[in-house]
Every structure is written in structure tokens, then in C-alpha cells.
A and B are shown apart, each in its own frame.
Chain A
Amino acid sequence: MSGNEAVARGAYEAGVLWASAYPGTPSTEILENTAKYKEIHSQWSNNEKVALETACGASIGGERAFAAMKHVGLNVAADPLMTIAYEGVNGGLVVITADDPGCHSSQNEQDNRNYATLGKVLMLEPSDSQECKDMFKLAFEMSERFDMVVLFRMTTRVCHSKSIVELGERQEPKIKKYVSDKMKFAMLPASARLRHIAIEENLEKARAYAETSPLNIVEYNGDNKVGIITSGISYQHCREAFGDTVSYLKLGITNPLADNLIKEFCEKCETVHVVEEGDGYLEIGVRHLKLDCTGKELITCQGELTAEIVKTSLTEAKSEPTYDFPQLKDIPARPPVFCAGCPHRGFFYSMSKFRDKVVGMGDIGCYGLGWQEPFNCEETCVCMDAGTSTTIGMANALKNQDDTRKPLGFQGDSTFFHGGFTGFIDAVHYNTNAILCILDNDITAMTGHQLNAANDTGLMGEPVHKLNVTDMIYATGIDKDRVAVVDPMNQAEMDGALKHAIETDGLQVIVTKYPCALLKWDIQQRAGRHCVIDADKCVGCKMCMKVACPALAFDDGKAHIADPAACTGCGLCMQNCKVGAITKVGE
């Protein structure tokens, strides 16, 4: 099982009744797997804050519940987290943060363990799939026992590595009856001041528990010359690097820290190294106790660790030798690209024709690939939803320096639901001089096709009410003349809409409507459709290649469809062909 599958299994065994999440790599498969257990109500939320708040409601109501998100998602959910921490729980409540050291699929490498101390919540860190399952189960017991929210901190290699897991039985869920308790669940100054006292007490009780908890493992080896304090995946790297030659203090509970256990370990070992990915989080805990250790001066805070990095950082050992292969530099890069038939290609190809007239501002989604050659359309990308709101400030800055370009924000339907709509309301309210484009492809595509509010089916297959992006835009009361709904694959239509939006003052909105090329129901509908290029007619002008479609290739002075199975017959390349060499078949 992967760590994500194991967490879902742990939820099942723990008798969890509520699971919510917003998709985000590397956390996405957690909810996809809980949905396979019909006993757990699993649903996608529009964003991480909503996911946590819905889980919080279930917990106050008396059910065991959890919310899952990627590390940057917890920034969105930080607001409820900080106050739920004061309230504590009724049914056990766990928040999963899946951090991404190495930025495999993220915009930063933030270390969310820092949220545990900031929020004064319990924190557990598993290091493999078995621990993911067992510790997740225990997290609910601890949450209820100490009346605290538990932050369950995973990292990419824990989420996406597979190892053998022994399964257990499901514990029958015990719903705790909901009893109104305003002083605990309604945080106002009067109640919050008192709850702050309670959480400090609960933290100390949890600290005492951590001193003897089996989740904190001490292993003395050799003559205790070297001791390593570590947690999560870093423990596995250390074991791989040093085996039984050093002593270990592997912390499964990383907030609150078992101070006495740490002191005892440091006293017994001659030299203590703290080995952790990301920040010197444990190191600060150890140094706070005025104990000697090494930490971030030896182990990098950047990227993922490997056994090799740990070994070469702490000892004189040299890296494994490798082959010197000079031709390596001649291998062309293989950047991710828009899929054949992707509607974003139509949008960005059109936008690239107006590049000098706009400032392209995006955010998080497949459309982030508009950053690359040959489109070069994304000049800024901060976080989810920013594609809308950053244009508002940019419009002011451009105006103040007499720059006539117009900010052009773009985001997908899922991001629009996530929080883009909130910024959108501001843009309408203040009539920002910007162009806002919603690239509506009917799905949350980037993370692997999770259903969102634009779909009529829920995660568990249940029928749900479907929302419409365009209706939401009209609901703001915006003048309908300012809104264009276009087919991005129709370049005349797309170009026309952009040109009009650039030339017209004030807020202009463009909604591109076209399904993601990987949607199953769309694939079925278009089965057999693809383009063909008549080699006799092709003059080799390469105009079709400008749309940068992976289904096209150019050899011996002629363009051809390299992969008819990949070509969706979207017809974008066809519109660029001046000699009519490209036609669609199979319609």
C-alpha cells in the first residue's frame, strides 16, 4: 500500500465517519481511497478551509472526522485550525498535511511542522505505510483522550511510497452525542481566554504521554558514540545509511516533544545529530533544552534527503561513484506539456498573439504550463486563486507608470470555486481595469481528475447539484456585455474575444468552455476522431507546429500526425494551415 492508501485504511479501522479534502499532490489519493470504504462519508470540498471546517462540524457533532490537504493547502485552512485548536474536539479530529520537500509538484517547500507549535496542536509523523495506518488510527484516540486536534504530517515519499501493510479490523464507530457547550465550541474573547488555559494544560498532559508512548522509539546501538534524533521519512534514510551502527531516537509524536526522553538520549550519546528534512524543527526543540547537537549546519534544509545525503553530510563518506557520460547534456529536456486536445492550448496560443498588450497572471493548475515556450503567457504565479486577485493591484501599478498593458488573469473552474470567485467579486465591485479569464474544462484536471462543484456526481457516486461558472459570474450583477463565453479551440472566436477585451476599458470577463481532453465521457464521445495531414499538400511552413501539440511531428520537411491515437481532432492545428492540408476524420 502507498502511505495514502494506508491512511485511508487507518481511517476505516478507526471508525471514521467523515472525510473531506481539496485535491493537491501528494495528498490527493487519501480521499480517493477513503471513498472506497462506503462506511466513511467522503467528499471533495471547494477548498482546504471548507474541508477542515466541514470536518470540524462533524467532530463537534460527535463523529470521528478528518480533512486532508497538501502543505500549501494548510495555509488556506490555517484560520480554522488555529481556533479549532482552542476548542478541542468531541469526536476525534485529525488534519493531514502532505508536505512536498523537493517541490515535486508544488510552488514551495514549506515545512508544516511549524504549524503544530504555532497552533498548539498534537502532531504525529509516520515514516512508512504501516505507520501511516497504525498512527492514523491512534491519532483519533489521542485526539479524544487529550481533547486536541491532531496534525498528521506526511511528506511526498511517505505518501507515494509503497510498502507492505498488515491490516486490522474496523472498530465500530461510537458517535458521541452532541451537547451544546458554548464555552467550548463558540470562541469569543470570554471563552477563548479560558480555553487557552485548557489547551496549555492538555499540551502538558500530552507531553507526559509522549515520554512513554510507543510512537517514540529509542534504540541504543553500539557504544552510543553517535546518536541520531529524527522523525518521518528521515528515519528511514538514517537506517539505510547507518543500520545498527548508531543509536536512534525516532520521534513519532513531534508536538509536544518528549523533553525528558530527549534529555536522556542526549546524555547517553557522545555526539547527537538531528536529522530532518526541511527546517531545523526538532533541532530547535533539542537546543531549547540546552542540549548539544548538530542540525542544519550539516543537513541541508533544501530538497529531499536521501540515505546518501545523510551519510555524506554526517561522515567522511564519499558519494557513490557514477559514470561520466558527457552526452547527457545533449539529451533534450522533456518538460510537461499540454495534452493533445487540451483546451488550454487554444487559449494560450490565442493569448500569445497579444503578448505585448497584456500582463499574464496565473495561479495553480494545468494552465501553469502556459509559463513555458512557446506560449510564455504566465508572468506571475503565487498561489491558488491569485490569478484573479493579483490583477487588481497590478492594474493600479500599471496605470501609475503609464503602462498601457492590461493585466490578464486566468484560472480554471476548480480554482474559481476554490477561492478565485472571492477575488472576482472585488474585481467586479471596483470595476478593475483587467481581463479575467475562467478556463472552464469541467474538472479538477491537474491533480488527476477530481470532480468539483461543476459536476453532477459526488465522490461516492451520489447525485449532487451542479454549479455553473457563468451563472456565478452573472450573479455578481456584472453587465452582460462585459462577459464573453467562447470556444477556445475556435481561434477566430478566441482572438476576437481577447482583442475586444484588450481594447475595451474596465473589467472584461472571458469564460472558455471546452472539456479537458482526458475526460472519460469526452473520450468516449469523440472516439475515432483525429486529424490527418495530406503530405502532398503540406508545404512545410510549420505553421501547424506553432500550436505545440505533442500529437504533431515534423520530419523531412513535412508535418505529420505522429500519434493518431493521441490526436483528438480538436482542429487547432488545422486552423493554422494556409494550404488546407489538414482535415478531420472519424466524426
Chain B
Amino acid sequence: MANGKNIILVGVGGQGTILTTKILSAGLTELGYDVKMSEIHGMSQRGGTVTTQLKYGDKVYAPNIGDGEADVIVGFEKSEAARAIPYLRIGGTVIADEREIYSMPVLTGAAEYPHGILDDLKKTVGEDHVKVIDAFAKAEELGNTRVQNIVLLGALVKVLGIEGIDWVELVGKMVPAKVRDLNIEAYKQGFAMV
């Protein structure tokens, strides 16, 4: 696809991946791109992996992204970022949060959480292509862990180099009014983290 990118946002149900994708789509549309996003609902909401895919460019046809076709993967959870690797284009970028959320096999002791997975990932795709961001910790520091998604959005906008519109205003417009200032701060902090 000319002049565009394929992005995958992946996390665990309830982390706000869908809102992030909505804001990103609105911004990209404002920038004049054709945008398609695709999300999978249903059982995945019950604590399973949640994936949303977004494609933008001069003209986008298919909404979904195949293996090796994603330019950027944004992982809201460390192991989920790594799990999405088959989608990554050679030379693509991973933005991964340090956040660890244990799935049921880990909680019950049936499996072990791969704490060092991002280091392994760096070895595979290259140090420069894995941007590890402690967005959850930043959100905690800002006083509300729920803005983790907007911290990551800030980082993503920077990585994509799509600063051509007023993202701060857009974020302010698209989040609930009572947490607007907090989200705007989260966006700014995220932008500064990469």
C-alpha cells in the first residue's frame, strides 16, 4: 500500500485498545488518509487477548492484516506484544509496555510467565526496533492506570511521525470530559517517552 502503514494494537480485554484505535483513526482521517480498522469482539472480552488492526494510506481495501504485513505492533501487555510477532514486517517496529498481566495458566501455576520475553524479542528483531515503554507505570504515576492506553497512543503518534494535526485537542475531544486533562497529560508524556 502506497504512503500508508499497517498497525496492530494488542492487549488484554479492558485495557482500552479499542478507544486508542478509534482516536488514532479519527486523527488519521483528519490527516486525509483512507482508514480501515478491524476488531474482533465476542469471547475475547472475557480476559482473553484483544486485537485491533488499523490500516491507513491513500486507499485501503482489505481491513485485516496478514502475517508479515504489520509495520507497527503496539503491545499493551508484554507477552501479548511478543505473541503478535508473526504479524511484524521484517524491519517493522514494536512498541511494548512493560506491563505483565498473568493469564489463567500462569495464575494457577500451570505455566510460567516469560518475564524476559522483550529481551529475547530485541535479539530477534533488533534493539532499535523494540521500543519498550513503561506506560502502565506512567499512568499509575499520573494517578489513573486506565490512561495507559493514551500514554501508548502518544508514543505511537511519535513513532509513526504523524504529528501533522492537533492530537492533544483530538484526545481531549474523544475521552470523557471529567478525565480530559488527565488523558491529555498522558498523551504528552507518552509522546515524550520515545
A: residues with CB less than 8 A from B are: 25-26, 28, 104-105, 128, 156-157, 160-164, 233, 236-237, 239-241, 304, 306-309, 319-325, 327-328, 330-339, 366, 369, 373-374, 446-448, 542, 545, 548, 550, 552-554, 562
> Smallest CB–CB gap between B79 and chain A, Å?
5
**B residues 4-49 with Cβ under 8 Å of A?**
12-13, 25, 29, 34-49
For the complex of A and B, the 10 pairs showing the least CB-CB separation, nearest first, are A105-B42, A320-B68, A308-B66, A161-B63, A332-B111, A336-B48, A336-B46, A334-B103, A240-B62, A239-B61
B3: shortest Cβ distance to chain A, in Å? 14
B103 in contact with A328 (CB, 8 Å): no
Pick 27 A–B contacts, CB within 8 A, sort by A: A26-B41, A105-B42, A160-B38, A160-B41, A161-B64, A162-B36, A233-B63, A236-B62, A319-B66, A319-B67, A334-B12, A334-B48, A334-B80, A335-B48, A335-B103, A335-B105, A336-B46, A336-B47, A337-B46, A337-B47, A369-B43, A373-B105, A373-B108, A373-B110, A447-B42, A542-B109, A562-B102
Residues of the A chain whose Cβ atoms lie less than 8 Å from the Cβ of B121 = 325, 327
User: What is the chain B residue whose CB lies nearest that of A366?
Assistant: B46
Residue on B nearest A563 in the bound complex, by CB: B101
- B112-120, B154-162, B169-177, B178-186 - interface stretch: B112-120
Q: Is the interface of A mostly helix, strand, loop or mixed?
A: loop
Cβ distance A505 to chain B, nearest Cβ, rounded Å = 37
A157 to B19, alpha carbons, bound, how many Å?
A: 18
Query: When the two chains form the complex, which single residue of A324, A325, A339, A553 contacts B46, counting CB atoms closer than 8 Å?
Result: A339
**Bound form: Cα–Cα A240–B65 in Å:** 11
Instruction: Tell me whether B104 and A157 are in contact (CB under 8 A).
Output: no
Given A322-B68, A322-B87, 12 extra CB contacts under 8 A: A25-B42, A26-B41, A157-B38, A240-B1, A322-B90, A327-B114, A327-B124, A332-B79, A334-B12, A334-B80, A337-B104, A369-B43
Contacts of B110 in A (CB 8 A): 332, 373
In the complex, the number of residue pairs spanning A and B with C-beta atoms less than 8 Å apart equals 185
Q: Measured between alpha carbons, how far is A328 from B125 in the docked complex, in Å? A: 13
* Chain B interface main SS type: mixed
Closest to B62 in A: A240
Q: Decide: B46 and A369 in contact? CB cutoff 8 A.
A: yes
CA–CA, A236 and B38, complex, Å: 13
Q: Is the CB of B47 within 8 A of A334?
A: yes
* Measured CA separation A562–B99 after assembly (Å): 13
* Nearest chain A CB to B70 CB, angstrom units: 10
